[in-house]
Amino acid sequence: MAPSPHTLSIAPMMDCTDRHFRYLARLISRRARLYTEMVTANAIVHTARGGRDLARFLGFNPEEHPVALQLGGSDPALMAEAALHGARAGFDEINLNIGCPSDRVQSGQFGACLMAEPALVAACVRAMGEALAATHAHIPITVKTRIGIDHQDSDAFLDDFVGRVNAAGCDTFVIHARKAWLSGLSPKENREIPPLQYDRVFRLKTKFPHLAIGINGGIKTLAETHALLAPREGVALDGVMIGRAAYDAPYALLAEADRALFGDERAVPSEAEVAALYLDYAEREATQGVRLHLMLSHAVGLFAGQPGARAWRRALSRGHASSGDPSRVLAELRARIYSRGGCHELAA
């Protein structure tokens, strides 16, 4: 059986999964599905209506495909309009955020708090689907959500939410296998304190076998990914989404992913080769006015666990803090990468 399009994906993470990190991730894995940071529908629509450039929100490199746009919002009309802009920009998927519990997100009436309003979520999904269908933009609308919120965290609550949103036109769900507390915990604490309940996601798949169900939350290795993709009592999930582990140590997590999960036997560049390619990318972007620190910060974990990793982090930190000529900063970083016997390595 061919792998699902969502077999492995990197979670949308604020201040992390911008287009620069996504480019870095794609240098390592050709197959993992990438997601933008959450972008509010309101920001996209108001920018477009004002005649301003949408690249700030919707810009990405062609190399990033397959790449999904994650939207936040709760106004069906605005969501539909934003989805159209995402489709025109060339995204492969529109994902609706129903998982973020931050106060800022709740104040905008979107994110995890919308689990309590399945009819409104369904209306958003339906409006987006109808808008895309009217323009023949046949890209999937997906939902990333939690297993519950506050004391609304029963199987029946999750089943009802998924069933009603599915009826509106969504057939792919990524489930963060923790509930969210809408008050009393920070977003970071909400990623760590509510216990993981992977069995809940498998039970959901049992009840909705026709849906594509992916799992997210606490997954840190390819071994854990394999375990979660393996059938349990005849039930197999359709994908695994990894968050912080993929950002903190992208090469360690992704280098073997294409071969192990997708059967893709093409050679993967070494860490140092990836670093050299990414520095080339950073130099091109810097000539277009992109600030160097916005790109260098994403490469901190590239050599995680390898000799010389600490020196690399220090060099990046100096480059991050420098206000000097980007070419000089990049030359100093390149000096840490050298070629011996035709293979790039990292200078310890």
- Please list the active-site residues: 100
Cβ 33 vs Cβ 3: under 8 Å: no
Cβ 10 vs Cβ 242: under 8 Å: yes
Rg (C-alpha) for the chain, rounded Å, is 21
Give DSSP secondary structure letters for 304-342: TTSTTHHHHHHHHHHHHH--S-HHHHHHHHHTTEEEETT
Q: Which residues of 304-322 are buried (b: 16+ CB within 10 A; e: fewer)?
A: bebebbeebbebbeebbee
10 Å Cβ neighbour count for 189?
12
Q: Distance from CA of residue 300 to its chain's centroid?
A: 18
Q: Which ranges of 37-185 does DSSP label H, i.e. alpha helix? A: 41-49, 55-58, 76-89, 103-107, 118-134, 155-167
Cβ 168 vs Cβ 96: under 8 Å: no
Residues in the chain: 348
Cβ 23 vs Cβ 63: under 8 Å: yes
Residue with tokens 């895309």: 132
Q: Which ranges of the chain does DSSP label H, i.e. alpha helix? A: 19-28, 41-49, 55-58, 76-89, 103-107, 118-134, 155-167, 187-190, 198-207, 222-229, 244-248, 250-254, 257-262, 271-287, 292-296, 309-321, 326-334
For residues 174 and 28, give the distance between their C-alpha atoms in angstroms, rounded to a whole number.
23
For residues 183 and 149, give the distance between their C-alpha atoms in angstroms, rounded to a whole number.
10
